[in-house]
């Protein structure tokens, strides 16, 4: 494939990803793992070339983390998981009567951080690349250590760490069952089950009288939206003019720091960067608006860095994002695979050159920014009102449920579907009861397929 074809695939798929996930970001509660991951997996299975898959994913996460600020700031509902740390600051700014300022600071910070994060992440990956063979050699044990660390750093703390043991054993048992029934193992079914676990758990809870009682609402929620207004000169807003000098510098600094710490939880890094770079500002209004820009910028930089660094340097999903929303880029059999025994890979790490990650990553981010940033800055009120009045959350849930069923049947028929539902139900309940989030569960899956065989061989 020549360079023009590569750019054509990258631009076209980035455009698709930006449009689809720019719109999905407007729908509150559309978690990244439950939306970005399955659709990226579908793109891979449809046969899109590696450069197109990569550009699609990068544009998808960049676009979603721009438009997710609209329901978060204007409606007080988190657009997705990573928008939750922005809620308190956005609420305080709404009480001050400036929700539109909260939105513009947040998305402008996201744009600045996304553009910075790509080259910084590629640089850190290049620094780590000489150590990739040593890291790969101890991959089974790194997954075990990473799973334990991510569990302890999650909201569930020690409960999530203890829950890893039965969850890993569940995966091992279901994999043995699938191998016996199909003469081969499964991976996509486990992945989809974990990704949509909270959704599956909610659907099962709705079948129980007590569960339905907890979900019942007496009346529809009402919202008051601020009107769209221009606070900048010119036709196209400039994020460096929306942010003041200190906010731009703080957002850039947070993007660099959070791009280096690719093994930590994105939610934790979002909170930490906000407090580190904005927590000491004495003026309340400036502190809140700086918090919005830094925190939303960190949602972009953590996702980009936690995808790019392990993808470029190692080829194994050794970060919460790589093991979660970005997991199809590492392991999507039969297209992309990870050798469980050897700890080797055949995925985007092997199919793209480092310069391609840099160039096409920046291209995808720029396309997402060009499409979504002016839209969010000028049409947020109309978009939020239209989504709340016309888009059915039940229809969105039904569409993703249908997609999951189709992909599971493709991989292993009813056996794969049963595995996905079982893992999703158990994982979703663990998520709700002990705060064992999907990042911990994905690491548990890799412990089951990589570390458990290594432990068994060691004991044998």
The tens digit of pLDDT for each residue in 35-58 reads 888 899 899 989 999 999 999 999
456/156 Cα distance (integer angstroms): 28
- pLDDT at site 398: 80
- pLDDT at site 331: 86
- What percent of the chain shows pLDDT beyond 90? 36
CA atoms within 13 A on the CB side of 65: 37
Return the sign of the alpha-carbon dihedral for residues 35, 37, 38, 40: positive
pLDDT top residue among 338 and 126:
126
* Cβ within 8 Å of residue 200, ≥6 positions away: 193, 421, 424, 425, 428
Burial of 203 (C-beta count, 10 Å sphere; 0-12/13-18/19+): middle
Does 334 sit behind a cis peptide bond, omega within 30 degrees of 0 on the bond before it?
yes
Q: Which two tokens stand for residue 15?
A: 């455009």
416/189 Cα distance (integer angstroms): 5
Q: Is the pLDDT of residue 34 over 80?
A: no
Of 5-9, 118-122, 439-443, the least confident: 439-443
Of 147-156, 370-379, 384-393, the least confident: 384-393
Q: How many CB atoms lie within 10 A of CB 224?
A: 8
Q: Is the pLDDT of residue 308 over 80?
A: yes
Q: Is the pLDDT of residue 228 over 90?
A: no
- pLDDT at site 138: 78
Give the tens place of pLDDT for each residue, 270-295: 888 888 888 888 888 899 999 999 99
Q: Is the pLDDT of residue 236 over 80?
A: no
Average pLDDT over residues 345-366: 92
Q: Which two tokens stand for residue 361?
A: 């990553």
Q: How many CB atoms lie within 10 A of CB 366?
A: 18
Q: Is the pLDDT of residue 426 over 70?
A: yes
- In 3D space, the residue among 448, 357, 376, 425 whose CA is nearest the CA of residue 66 turns out to be 376
322/119 Cα distance (integer angstroms): 18
314/5 Cα distance (integer angstroms): 27
- pLDDT at site 348: 92
Task: Report residue 233's pLDDT band, with 50, 70 and 90 as the boundaries.
Answer: low
Of 101-115, 154-168, 186-200, the least confident: 186-200
Q: Is the pLDDT of residue 394 over 80?
A: no
* Under 8 Å between Cβ of 187 and 333: yes
342/185 Cα distance (integer angstroms): 16
Q: What is the chain's mean pLDDT, rounded?
A: 85
- In 3D space, the residue among 385, 255, 321 whose CA is nearest the CA of residue 60 turns out to be 321
Q: What angle do CA 13, 18, 19 make, to 5 degrees?
A: 100
DSSP state of 273: H
Task: Give the pTM.
Answer: 0.80
Q: Cα Rg for the chain, rounded, in angstroms?
A: 21
- pLDDT at site 390: 75
449/7 Cα distance (integer angstroms): 36
pLDDT top residue among 208 and 121:
121
Task: Report residue 266's pLDDT band, with 50, 70 and 90 as the boundaries.
Answer: confident
183/203 Cα distance (integer angstroms): 31
29: left (phi over 0), alpha (psi -120 to 50) or beta: left
Q: Is the pLDDT of residue 234 over 80?
A: no
Task: Report residue 301's pLDDT band, with 50, 70 and 90 as the boundaries.
Answer: very high
């Amino acid at each position: 494939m020549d360079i023009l074809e590569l750019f054509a695939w990258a631009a076209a798929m980035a455009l698709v990803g930006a449009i689809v996930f720019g719109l999905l970001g407007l729908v509150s509660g559309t978690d990244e793992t439950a939306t970005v991951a399955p659709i990226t997996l579908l793109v891979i299975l449809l046969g899109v070339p590696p450069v197109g898959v990569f550009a699609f994913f990068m544009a998808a996460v960049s676009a979603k983390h721009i438009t997710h600020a609209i329901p978060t700031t204007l409606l007080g509902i988190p657009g997705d998981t990573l928008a939750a740390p922005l809620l308190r600051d956005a609420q305080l700014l709404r009480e001050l009567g400036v929700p539109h300022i909260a939105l513009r600071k947040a998305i402008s910070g996201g744009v600045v951080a996304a553009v910075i994060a790509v080259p910084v992440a590629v640089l850190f990956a290049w620094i780590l690349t000489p150590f990739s063979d040593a890291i790969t050699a101890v991959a089974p044990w790194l997954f075990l250590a990473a799973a334990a660390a991510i569990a302890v750093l999650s909201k569930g703390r020690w409960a999530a760490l203890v829950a890893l043991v039965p969850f890993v054993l569940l995966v091992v048992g279901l994999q043995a069952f699938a191998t016996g029934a199909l003469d081969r193992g499964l991976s996509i079914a486990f992945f989809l089950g974990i990704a949509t676990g909270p959704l599956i758990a909610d659907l099962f809870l709705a079948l129980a009288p007590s569960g339905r009682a907890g979900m019942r609402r007496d009346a529809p929620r009402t919202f008051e939206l601020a009107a769209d207004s221009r606070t900048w000169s010119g036709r196209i807003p400039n994020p460096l003019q929306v942010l003041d000098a200190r906010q731009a510098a703080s957002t850039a600094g947070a993007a660099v720091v959070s791009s280096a710490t690719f093994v930590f939880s994105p939610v934790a890094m979002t909170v930490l960067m906000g407090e580190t770079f904005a927590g000491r500002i004495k003026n309340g209004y400036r502190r809140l608006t700086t918090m919005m820009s830094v925190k939303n910028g960190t949602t972009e930089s953590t996702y980009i860095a936690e995808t790019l660094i392990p993808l470029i340097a190692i080829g194994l999903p050794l970060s919460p994002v790589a093991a979660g929303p970005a997991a199809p880029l590492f392991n999507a059999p039969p297209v992309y695979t990870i050798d469980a025994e050897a700890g080797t890979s055949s995925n985007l790490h092997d199919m793209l050159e480092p310069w391609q990650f840099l160039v096409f990553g920046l291209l995808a981010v720029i396309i997402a920014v060009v499409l979504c940033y002016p839209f969010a800055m000028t049409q947020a009120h109309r978009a939020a009102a239209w989504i709340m009045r016309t888009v059915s959350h039940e229809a969105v849930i039904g569409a993703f449920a249908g997609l999951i069923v189709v992909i599971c049947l493709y991989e292993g028929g009813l056996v794969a579907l049963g595995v996905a539902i079982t893992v999703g139900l158990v994982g979703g309940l663990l998520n709700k009861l002990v705060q064992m989030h999907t990042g911990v569960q994905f690491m548990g899956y890799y412990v089951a397929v990589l570390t458990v065989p290594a432990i068994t061989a060691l004991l044998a």
